[in-house]
Amino acid sequence: MGFSDVCNRQKNTNIRWRLPAVCFVWQLSMIVLFGVFVRYNEESDTHWVDYRKEKNITSDIENDFYFRYPSFQDVHVMIFVGFGFLMTFLKRYSFGAVGFNFLIAAFGIQWALLMQGWFHSLDYTDGKIKIGIENLINADFCVAGCLIAYGAVLGKVSPVQLLVMTLFGVTLFAVEEYIILNVLHAKDAGGSMVIHTFGAYYGLSISWVLYRPDLDKSKHLNGSVYHSDVFAMIGTLFLWMFWPSFNSAIADHGDGQHRAAINTYLALASTVLTTVAMSSLFEKTGKLDMVHIQNSTLAGGVAVGTAAEFMLSPYGSLIVGFFCGIISTMGYIYLSPFLEEKLKIQDTCGIHNLHAMPGVIGGIVGAITAAAATNTVYGDLGLENTFDFTGPFNKRVPTIQGGYQAAGLCVALCFGIGGGIFVGLVLKLPIWGDPADENCFDDEIYWETCIKATELNMHSEQ
């Protein structure tokens, strides 16, 4: 019970001024910045009726809204219910899981509209960001990176820290995304690199900097109870079911979206079987572990992200899913304990197994598939359309594209690790109201709850 322990106990988790201040100031900033910069684009503005006539667009149904809105809503569900409920598995951190996920996503999407807007949707004629449905989807995507990172630090940080993490995370995301998609002209429809690799290494690096040697003090709360595992399955299933929409949401109109949905559907189906197989194989009596079913079943969706809109072919998708289910489950069994003990990375939700490894695999699969693309398989027009070999990139060929895809993966890794270490150091400052080691994984710290002693005892496992 030395000095560090005394410090720890004195930790002030009263965020009464800090949290409201951050929320108000940041939201006011958003209003000012939106006022200066953000306007409707030509498809969401009342001038659409004029634009339609002018451009000879035959029907309102050609508005991008109808191509993407169903996918957008599915993605939206993944962000708020999917990620939120996936993290409710802890017996006493369901409020924090779903509530803080809600908070940081709601902030993040606004900041993402601005950051991504400056890079991608700035109208140079009037200096305004013009937004439409695709921007909303991209904002949701951008936030997904930060929510993945939240999975690594779940239960160990304050909501103020989460907001800071989101502010920096979205900023870093927008820059790496610009480099990968625009400068390198890599393709990444489902974000294996841009979203998952970046987000996971961002979170793992933060968790590494914030390492808590005495986290064992709250280990009685670092586990699930029966019903919290069922709640988590709501998150798992909505992520799993809507992942085809995630990977196809911003793919090319027509065959691009169509193919991305099919590839993702197949990869995910395959992952479920190998996850179940591995989970059963590595338990002494062949029983299944809910942690694997909740998480590793999703790895195929992550790994097929980059290549989803390519001609990966149906069996290719199955193969990707097959290996990711194996690798991800093995990660939970062998790698997570190793990361925690040897590398000092405490990863509450195991995002290394669900997002980091499958994300990197996805980047590699994307690079290989791109490099192997041929005119025979894609057709001349199809090849040009799928990889956007137009404008300044009209000389690029598939093999070169493969190289740029691989370069994109490296950029995502660098931004994730570098950015995470930097933000981790910022979050180490003793001003953010994070919980003491013995109060981790406990909603009592940040939420009004009416938990009876009896109820708590019943649910704990000491």
Instruction: Assess 371 for contact with its own copies (CB under 8 A).
Output: no
Interacting residue with its own copies among 120, 122, 220, 233 (CB under 8 A) = 233
**Both structure tokens of 26:** 């940041």
| Minimum CB–partner distance for residue 2 and its own copies (Å) | 28
Q: How far is the CB of 211 from its own copies (least distance, A)?
A: 26
Tell me which of 5, 8, 11, 30 binds its own copies, using CB under 8 A: 30
Query: Of the candidates 330, 385, 400, 428, which one interacts with its own copies according to CB under 8 A?
Result: 385
CA distance 63 to 422: 42
The C-alpha atoms of residue 286 and residue 455 are separated, in whole angstroms, by 32
Q: Which one of 172-180, 182-190, 224-232, 357-365 is the stretch in contact with its own copies (CB under 8 A)?
A: 224-232
Among 183, 281, 372, 425, binds its own copies (CB under 8 A): 281
Residue 347 C-beta: closest distance to its own copies, Å: 20
Q: Position of tokens 């019970």?
A: 1
Scanning 1-9, 168-176, 189-197, 306-314 for contacts with its own copies by CB under 8 A, the matching segment is: 306-314
Closest alpha carbon to 117 in 30, 184, 190, 200? 30
**Residue 335 Rama label (left phi>0; alpha psi -120 to 50; beta):** alpha
Which are the contacts of 277, defined by CB distance < 8 A and separation ≥ 6?
Answer: 325, 326
d(CA 151, CA 236): 13
Residue 266 interacts with its own copies (CB under 8 A): yes or no: yes
Q: How far is the CB of 314 from its own copies (least distance, A)?
A: 4
CA angle 329, 332, 336 (to 5 degrees): 150
Residue with tokens 């993290």: 87
- End-to-end Cα separation, the chain, in angstroms: 21
What residues between 154 and 193 interact with its own copies by CB under 8 A? 159
Size of the site for its own copies (CB under 8 A): 144
Which residues from 81-140 bind its own copies, rule CB under 8 A?
81, 84-85, 88, 92, 94-95, 98-99, 102-103, 106-107, 109-110, 113, 131-133, 136
* Alpha carbon distance 436, 450 (integer Å): 21
Does position 324 interact with its own copies (CB under 8 A)? The reply is no
List binders of its own copies among 10-29 (CB under 8 A): 14-20, 23-24, 26-28
Report the b/e string of 245-261 with b at 16+ CB within 10 A. bbbbbbbbeeebbebbb
Nearest CB to its own copies, comparing residues 17 and 124: 17
Rg (CA), the chain: 22
Cα–Cα dist 203/179, whole Å: 20
Which pairs count as long-range contacts for 3-11, CB under 8 Å and 24+ apart, including other chains? Answer: 4/214, 5/214, 8/214, 8/436, 8/437, 8/438, 9/436, 9/438, 11/434, 11/435, 11/436, 11/439
Q: Minimum distance from CB of 151 to its own copies (Å)?
A: 18
- The structure tokens listed for 170 are 């979205």
Regarding 288 and contact with its own copies (CB under 8 A), the answer is: yes
Structure tokens at 449: 């709850």
**Phi/psi-derived region of residue 11, left when phi > 0, alpha when psi is between -120 and 50, beta in every other case:** beta
Rule CB under 8 A: choose which of 38, 181, 206, 209 binds its own copies. Answer: 38
**Per-residue tokens: 241:** 């079911």
**CA 125 – CA 121 distance, rounded (Å):** 12
- Tokens describing residue 339: 């990361």
Q: Which of 4, 7, 9, 50 binds its own copies (CB under 8 A)?
A: 50
Measured from the CB of residue 444, what is the shortest distance to its own copies in angstroms?
8
* Closest CB to its own copies among residues 268, 361: 268
- DSSP label of 124: T
- Nearest to its own copies of 399, 460 (CB atom): 460
Sequence-distant (6+) residues with CB within 8 A of 376 are none
Q: Which of 122, 175, 237, 330 binds its own copies (CB under 8 A)?
A: 237
Question: Which range, of 8-16, 388-396, 411-419, 420-428, touches its own copies by CB under 8 A?
Answer: 8-16
**Residue 45 CB, nearest distance to its own copies (Å)?**
6
Q: Which is nearer to its own copies, 30 or 417 (CB)?
A: 30
Compare residues 233 and 414 and give the one whose CB is closer to its own copies.
233
Q: Which of 348, 386, 401, 439 lies at the binding interface for its own copies (CB under 8 A)?
A: 386
Among 205, 222, 270, 346, the residue binding its own copies under the rule CB under 8 A is 270
Among positions 123, 214, 216, 455, the unique one binding its own copies when judged by CB under 8 A:
455
Choose, by CB under 8 A, the member of 122, 175, 276, 421 that binds its own copies.
276
Smallest distance from the beta carbon of 262 to its own copies, in angstroms? Answer: 6
The least distance separating its own copies from the CB of residue 199, rounded to whole angstroms, comes to 20
Selected binder of its own copies within 254, 338, 390, 399 (CB under 8 A): 254
CA distance 106 to 103: 5
